[in-house]
Structure 1
Amino acid sequence: MKQQKIRGLHRDLGYFYIGLIISFAFSGILMNHRDSWHPEKYTVETKAVTVKLPAEELISEKYAESLGKELGIDDKIRRHSVKKGTFKISFENHDVEIDMETGKGEVVAFKKTPIISHAMKLHKNTSEWWIYYSDIFGISLIVIAVTGALMIPYGKFTFKKRGLKLAVAGVVFPLLFLFLLS
């Protein structure tokens, strides 16, 4: 491929995908921290509750749904769990946490955060059209990376002289984190 065509392809794909790259990066940062601060939703109201819970082995999805109705929650249930002595129920617009021993807990009502919740859907979306678009985007990122590596044909900053070492470091660095920290 001629140098001019490589530069043109690299530039045009870069321009075309710049908005999506920024959106994915923003969404990815938010997703990385979703367990600590729930960026997707904000609290509207928190209400303390006390209930009598059955034994852990009797807690089922049906029980979680009925408890939600009892607590005045008219949402679709997403999941429920009992971990470390806490019964948790997640609904579309409410979260419930109740201590298994005392029966004391809280119901948190929330709304989706505008823009942020939509951006986070970029990483969660599983519709067929989005999967194909994401695949095309992934292939385009590979093309952008390869054309970027081939753009400088001579000198001390070519891919062979400098870029290859940095590219290998870019692959090794996250692998070290995966293997050493998991």
Structure 2
Amino acid sequence: MTAPAPYRCPAWVPVLIIVLTVGQLAVAEWVPGIDRFADKAFGARLLAYPLMMLLVPALWWIVVKRRRPEEPAPYGAFSLIMLGFLADVTGNSLDLYDSLTWWDDMNHFVNWVFLLTGIGLIIGAPVRPAWARVLMIAGLGAILAIGWELGEWYTFIRHGTEIDTAYEDTLGDETLGTLGALLAGLLVTWRLRGSDTVR
């Protein structure tokens, strides 16, 4: 009796995540009179978010698929990478950033767990020993958290109403993002035990 084939995330899952994200961004940018979307750089997000969501899949296709055409695409990892963008936009659509004081902090932590778990599942398997994999994923998460905060500052904080509290908020967000990435490193290492690849 042969073992069942491992579950693979279907391709429509990351496609659905992109469609839901871009749809909400389009509403935020082009439907007038919705106050919760004001001064939050949704025009920039409408361009940047799809590009960032598709960056890792595009790199995977260029680097991996060219060398190993038979390699199945890691749609589950792609979905995890994209999920944080959907959560961020949905939080704005449902006005959770303004109605729930803890939403922004939770978002930075959880979204970095999603993002770095997805990235870690794609690039983490060859890294040995396990502690080096955890540190690599956590370090990459810290770098991305700093980059994200620089992007937020440039697009809407420096000329916005949050400039007085930006320093403390930025330090908190970077810390939460790094802790989320550390958890992602632990999750990826646990998931990859005894397995060379995860899809």
Note whether the superposition's TM-score is higher than 0.5: no
Tell me the TM-score normalized by structure 2: 0.24
Work out which of the two has the higher radius of gyration on C-alpha atoms and give 1 or 2.
Answer: 1
Higher relative strand content: 1
Higher relative helix content: 2
